[in-house]
Amino acid sequence: MKRIAIALLGIILLAGLTATASEAGKLLIWADDTRTPIMLNVAADFTAVYGVEVEVQEIDFGEIRGQLATAGPAGEGPDILIGAHDWLGELILNGLVEPVVLEPATISDFNPVAVDAFMWGDLLYGVPYATENVALIRNTDLVPEAPATFEDLLATAVTLTDLEAGKYGFLIQQPDPYHTFALHSAGGGYIFGKDEDGVLDPCDMGLDNEGSIAGAILLDQMVKDGIEIAGAGYNEVTGAFNAGNLGMMIGGPWTLPGAKDGGINYGVSAIPPIAGNAPGVFVGVQGFMISAFSENKVLANLFVKDFLISTDVMLGLYIQGDRPPAYLPALAFLSGNDDIQGFAAAAATAVPMPKIAEMGSVWSAWSDALELIVNQELDPTTAMKDAANQIRLLLGCE
């Protein structure tokens, strides 16, 4: 047994391999699984041209922030990271990212909403490459024409819904504030208002204003009419849609591959006006950011500004990620793509998702309110008021 023990110890020692981390003269990129394949290609191209080694590490999308906060200051972080614009609040608070300076001419080549999303104050903190927002996605076999108004939509939904047969007319995945925002925003609801400097003011909470509550009441009505059902999460809604059992849903570009796999004929269009008002949807923007703890900032800037900003690379990222490009020349390429146009139509009244770190407290409270409404535990007005008050308490506002 002693021999076995020694052998095992030997194996442990041999089992080690050297670690990898950000070192001078080499670029380290953190990307999640969707972005990694295209980044590997881009990295290979960059190395071929400049002779600089580029390594791409695959890290869970949800983990990048947390790991950056610990690894960055410890010298183990990346030079470049790919993430969403609403991370900026947290990242800037922790001093983790660097501003990026772009020529005005280059900036104008980008979707202004995308650029705005990556601004903080008057500094740009990343190069955006994709935007995403939700729109109305319908099964064109069940709903041939896009409904003109939301009221039409609901009427169509009622005719299509047959709970016992497992057929549904219209579903919004719940509890999901991101997808439900359209209902609140149509009437003038908002999350955080802006102060005089144009910066979001966490204590100007709009979740319990008239518009937001009107949206909640609408949702409540949908439940009472039997259109919206409890327990319909992302998997359930897309599962039903992809199986042809759902007429319409609110979804983003990520739902399309599943619909295609299921052989569904679908159409993408803007969410129709509610009570005459166009609903606003959240826009999420993804981009490349440079770590403040990088030892290769000039190299990283070279990569991000000179190499990445090109129609080829941006299109490549689109093909891999299915999100409309933020780079206008690449977007122009796709003008014949109906899906992209549908999402663009929905994004006409888009609102960038708030990026201040206070958003964390908002999602849970709002989510709970929506669930209480869908479960018919609480009336919509009280639910939204409670949520707004919970958030105010969490943020220490009056």
- Segment 154 to 213, residues that bind another protein, using CB under 8 A: 163-164, 166
Q: How far is the CB of 374 from another protein (least distance, A)?
A: 8
Helix axes 380-395, 359-374, angle to 10 degrees: 160
The least CB distance from residue 359 to another protein, in Å, is 9
Decide: is 21 part of the binding site for another protein (CB under 8 A).
yes
Query: What mask, x for binding another protein by CB under 8 A, covers residues 251 to 290?
Result: -x-xx-xx--xx----------------------------
**Would you state the structure tokens that stand for residue 361, as one six-digit string?**
């407290």
* Cβ neighbours of 330 (radius 10 Å): 23
Residue choice 217, 223, 345, 378 for contact with another protein (CB under 8 A): 378
Which one of 29, 31, 34, 110 is in contact with another protein (CB under 8 A)?
Answer: 34
**Beta strands across the sheet bearing 135-139:** 168-171, 246-251, 135-139, 266-269
Q: Does 333 bind another protein (CB under 8 A)?
A: no
Residue with smaller CB distance to another protein, 82 or 186 = 82
Number of residues that bind another protein (CB under 8 A): 102
Compute the least distance from the CB of residue 115 to another protein, in Å: 20
Distance in angstroms (rounded) separating the CA atoms of residues 302 and 296:
10
CA-based nearest residue to 166, from 221, 236, 225, 223: 236
Nearer to another protein, 112 or 193 (CB): 193
Q: Shortest CA distance to 131 belongs to which of 348, 382, 396, 379?
A: 348
Relative to beta strand 80-84, strand 26-31 is: parallel
Q: 79 φ, ψ to 5°?
A: -95, -40
Q: Which stretch binds another protein (CB under 8 A): 21-29, 106-114, 151-159, 281-289?
A: 21-29
As a whole number of angstroms, the distance between CA 112 and CA 96 comes to 24
Residues of span 89-148 touching another protein by CB under 8 A:
89-90, 92-96
* Residues numbered 287-316 forming contacts with another protein, rule: CB under 8 A: 292, 295-299, 301-302, 306
